[in-house]
Structure 1
Amino acid sequence: MQRTAILVDGAFFLARYRKVWADRDPNDARTVAKTVFGMALEHLKALDRPRESLYRIFFYDCPPLDKTLTKPISGEAFDFSRTNAATFRRELHDQLRRQRKLALRLGRLVDRGEWQLKRNAYQQLHDAELEWEDLTDEHFEPDMRQTQIDMKIGLDIATLTYKRLVDQIILVAGDAGFVPAAKLARYEGIDVILDPMWQGISADLHEHIDGLQSVCPRPA
């Protein structure tokens, strides 16, 4: 039987989720987890493949930041592990683990222990809509980034390809970080489809995939 694996970049999916399903509560972890599984089934349906052809869904994300930092303006201590965002992430990961045919792949969230100015605050300063002396803690965010995610996606693609576990891979992502692994899979005869959830992609990205398909509702 032909098999399909679906690989989901969690950070990208959650960012698009708020735009695609604007009528849903983005903090309802159970609904978000079910939506991931529902998208997988929609892809199989669109490709006219039976539900049994689903090999596995891989969801890549990072645990929330579990650290206390000192706010840049007020000097107050702020525990990131107690934020609503951290609570949601932990609940989401728990719900994802309960989904059938879904493997949760966790990377690391690395912070530098520093704060950086938010993009919109920088723009307000640039446009003279905000003065430096008017900055508050709310204008800053921690300087952090995800690590190991691209590596884990690449390793899974290589494993699926060389072990001939699937004949088709669907990537739910929006950037070119997966391109080297996708080129490897295509070279070995695997059908690679990109689902950018209706987000535009660069023109040269088309040459590294076999198809472009979004199955979620198209944002207005």
Structure 2
Amino acid sequence: MTMERVAIFIDNAYFKIVQQQEAIPVDYEKFCDEIIDSTDQSSRFRTYVYDCPPYQSNPPTAEEMKRKSGFDAFKYNIIRLSRFEVRTGRLQIQRDEKGNILKKADGTPILRQKGVDMALGIDAALLAATKQVQRIILVAGDSDFVPAILAAKEEGVIVTLFFYPKGIVHDSLFEACDERFPITRELLQKSERKTREKNKIGHK
């Protein structure tokens, strides 16, 4: 059997929540090795991690600067791993129809990722159209990624979803993927990061 090449796409905003919910910091290389093992005769082509720098007000607060420093350290560590790429978008404050800032119960603004789904879509389309991979493994739960999945499938790429069963997974995303596997506590424990310095979760 021919060894198929696999690209792994990780929505890090989603994956950070999974790690925080289970209180298990993950070694990203180990995690990728574990989920690759779930597919037969596969080798990892590359892992793409999609994330946004934390929001910074003008001027930034001490807490915001601390979060930005954590994000920079995370990105620094990830891009030095073998066959890993980091794609960054931006966080945008959400407003109502009148332009008022929407806030959480604690008074902090509601933020939404921008540009992440576009970056993932471009990567998926390019890898699929140029036949560089035969499978995409997606770690995500957002329906924004559905167009990218459908485009990759049109090129004959198999799309496998790894989702957190205790969290929200949009039905359209679940249905669009060819295969689905839960991110279990056991899987996270197998991938647990043993040192504090390597590929930290990043900002909260």
Q: Helix, strand or coil for the counterpart of 2:131?
A: coil
8 Å contact from structure 1 (residues 7, 170) kept in 2: yes
Counterpart of 2:8? 6
Report the alpha carbon displacement of residue 193 of structure 1 after superposing the two structures with TM.
Answer: 0.6
TM-score by length of 1: 0.72
Higher relative contact order structure (alpha carbons within 8 Å, sequence separation ≥ 6): 2
Q: 2:34 aligns with which of 12, 31, 42?
A: 42
Contact 1:12–1:174 at 8 Å: present in 2 too?
yes
Q: Deviations over 1:112-165 (max 9, x none)?
A: 7986432xx3xxxxxxxxxxxxxxxxx211343321100001111100100100
Query: What value does the CA root-mean-square deviation take over the aligned residues?
Result: 2.5
Give the superposition deviation at 1:80.
5.0
1:211 aligned to 175, 179, 188, which one? 179
2:75 aligned to which of 80, 93, 99? 93
Identity of aligned pairs, percent?
30
Q: 1:109 is matched with which residue?
A: 91
Kindly indicate whether the alpha-carbon contact (under 8 Å) linking 1:59 and 1:105 is maintained by their aligned counterparts in 2: yes
1:54 aligns with 2:44: yes
| Residues paired across the two proteins, number | 180
Report the structure, 1 or 2, having the larger helix content: 1
Q: In the aligned structure 2, how far is the partner of 1:8 from the partner of 1:213? A: 14
Distance 1:58 1:204, change over 3 A: closer
Q: 1:110 to 1:19 in 2, by over 3 A?
A: same
- 2: CA distance, partners of 1:142 / 1:102: 32
Deviates more, 1:210-219 or 1:164-173: 210-219
Question: Shift of residue 40 of structure 1?
Answer: 1.0
For 2:170 and 2:13, locate their aligned partners in 1 and report how far apart those are by CA, in whole Å.
Answer: 19
Query: Which segments of 5 or more consecutive residues in structure 2 lack a partner in the other structure?
Result: 189-204
**Larger Rg, first or second structure (1 or 2):** 1
Offset at residue 202 of structure 1 (A): 4.4
Q: Is the 8 A contact 2:141 2:170 kept in 1?
A: no
**Please, which runs of 5 or more residues in structure 1 have no aligned partner?**
25-30, 70-76, 122-138
Following superposition, the deviation at residue 170 of structure 1 comes to 0.5
